[in-house]
Every structure is written in structure tokens, then in C-alpha cells.
Amino acid sequence: MVNLPPLLNFEQMLTNLKRRSDWQQLPDIRVAMWPGQVSFSDDLSDKHLFNDRYLESRVSVGKMAFVLYLVCGAFLATFIPVVISIISAAVKGKSASEIISDDWIIALFSVLMFCLGYALSRITPSCVRFNRQAQVVHIYGGPNKATTAPWRDVYPFTEFSASADGKFSLNLVFRTGPTDLAMASGAFDIGDESALVDNLTRLEFLRRYMAEGLSAIQPDPQRTLYKPSGFTKAVNFKDDGLIDFLLARLVVMPAYYLAGGPLIDRYLIRRAANAQWPEEVERLCAPGADLSGYDTTPVEARKDIYHRFNGHGFDLVNLRGEVVG
């Protein structure tokens, strides 16, 4: 008989995450970001995604789209040469066995890319709803499936990418049982994963919204508004330089259109908009919802201690910005 190791409880799993070298625990939501460092630039005009009842993140749409660009590009880059080769061989009078022997590897790869692209296209992008009126977080798990966890019990972390792309993932961890946890991305925009300070800023964005509402996360009038998404921002000459601008215009953009980028974008955005949330989630997100049984008291932050990014981590400071811990 095989003796299985005992299941870890939630506290042990949380301790393991804290000990990992590629994970860093972020400040508790009861500690706000130092006001002198807070600045938002999110376009909140889409009332279906941003309102005083909930916020919905669809950052995964752009990430899925990027993968599909690559898969569709690989499919077209192999399918078209195979078709041309088959037509050319048929014109030359080659037999079917000769044609298959010449092109079967490329043809097989093309078929695999088609199957992979089809499978990916059937996946509904994962979404996360931050329900302020019920003070819970809904994590989409597929058609009519979702995990709901109290916002007050969140444990925020940054996960550092193991690769060289410099990615900083904002992960929100929740207890869902004695030996279970749920994890959700806290990102709303691809830029949220550029640096640790971006993780801290988005965490403060969520903390303020859940505590005070939409009025507390209005964009800084000194910054340029942009709609948060998982899509890579357009490159321009002024901000990114001549080489990046030419690379984007002469290489990336043609490849994007050849791979069917605009069609992929519209398709995935529509799938995300049509995500089938469970009836209970839609009820809790509706205006005037019956919230009996839910602790709807907003989580208030301390007034004496704040966190402030220091270039590599964060310090605890007082209102004057003096380090206190």
C-alpha cells in the first residue's frame, strides 16, 4: 500500500508561497499606498466593466490573442507552402505517395497548428470581477462556473517571471477551504506586469475601489488616459524611438494583419463579453442585490502607516513619507 503524504492546510501552503524566491508578499489591503506616490491613468468610461457595483478585468483577452497570433501565423506559414508544393507536384505528374513523402512533416505541423488554434479559440478568456457591493471577488472558471471569495481575506503577492521577459505578475490568493486556495490575477492592463511598482499601484487601485468606490480611482488629469487591456500598446516614434517604431511598422504590424490579428481580437473580445457567469454571481452584481449573509463592510486602511515603493521593494512610511518600518 502506498502511503500518500498528508494534504497541506491553507496556512502551510501560504507559508510555502512566502518562502519561494520568485514570490514576494505585498502589503495587506489594510495598509494604503503613500498618497504622494498614487497616480492612475485608467479610462473608466466603459460602465459595463467599471461601475460602483463591480469592476471586471479582461486582461487575459489580449494575452490569449497574442498566443493565437503566433499559432495562426505558424499555421499559415506552413499551410500555404504545402498547398503550393502539392499543386506544383501534381502539375509535374508526381504520384500521391511521392507528394506525401515530400511534404508530410510540414503538412503534419500545419495540421497540429490548426488543431491547437481551434482548441484555443474555444476557450473563453478568464475574467475576474471585484464586487464592491458584496465585498467579494468572483473568479471565472468556465461556463456557469466561478469561485467567489471574500475580498477582506485576500493575500496579495508578486510573482517574478523565471524567464528573461521581466514579468511581474500580481497574484491574489484566497482561502477556499481548510486545504484549498484560489488564485486570481489582479492585473487590468498588460502594463501592470512591467514592474513591482505597477503591481503596487494596481493593488492600491483595487483597495481604494473596494473601500471607497469608483470616485476614489479616477485618473490623474496630468496623465494620458488609456483603456486597460491585455493588448500591447501601440508603438510611437516620440516615446519609443526610431528603431522600435520602424520595427513595429515594417515587421510587427504586417505580421499581425497576415496572421488575422483584427479578426482574432474581435472574436476573443466578443467571447469575453458573452462569458456565462453563474446566476448567483450575476445576482450579486445586479443593482439592488439582496446581500443577506454577506459582510458588506468595506475594509478600511490604517491612517498612520502607508507603503511606498523604494526602487526594489517597499517601505512602511508615515503620512510625511518618513520611513517607520
Q: What are 197-225's pLDDT values in tens digits?
A: 999 999 999 999 999 999 999 999 999 89
When pLDDT is averaged across residues 106-133 and rounded to a whole number, the result is 91
**Taking each helix axis from N to C terminus, what angle separates 261-273 and 59-91, rounded to the nearest 10 degrees?**
140
Q: pLDDT at position 90, please? A: 76
Strands (DSSP E) contained in 151-229 are: 155-160, 168-177, 180-185
When pLDDT is averaged across residues 277-298 and rounded to a whole number, the result is 95
When pLDDT is averaged across residues 92-98 and rounded to a whole number, the result is 70
Q: By C-alpha distance, which of 197, 151, 201 is closest to 311?
A: 197
More confident residue, 88 or 80: 80
Q: pLDDT at position 2, please? A: 43
Percent of the chain surpassing pLDDT 90: 66
Q: Which triple of cell numbers denotes residue 296?
A: 458588506
Q: What would the pLDDT profile of 177-202 be if each residue is shown by its tens digit?
A: 887 899 999 999 999 999 999 999 99
Q: pLDDT at position 163, please? A: 56
Q: What are the residue boundaries of the structural domains of the chain, listed by start?
A: 1-58+125-227+298-325
Q: What would the pLDDT profile of 135-190 be if each residue is shown by its tens digit?
A: 999 999 999 999 999 999 999 999 998 654 568 999 999 998 887 899 999 999 99
Confidence of residue 239 (pLDDT cuts 50, 70, 90): low
List the Cα angle 50/299/227 in 5-degree steps.
20
Q: pLDDT at position 162, please? A: 64
Q: What distance in Å separates the CA atoms of residue 133 and residue 151, rounded to the nearest whole number?
A: 11
Confidence of residue 4 (pLDDT cuts 50, 70, 90): very low
Q: pLDDT at position 1, please? A: 43
- Write the burial class of residue 314 (CB in 10 Å: 0-12 exposed, 13-18 middle, 19+ buried): buried
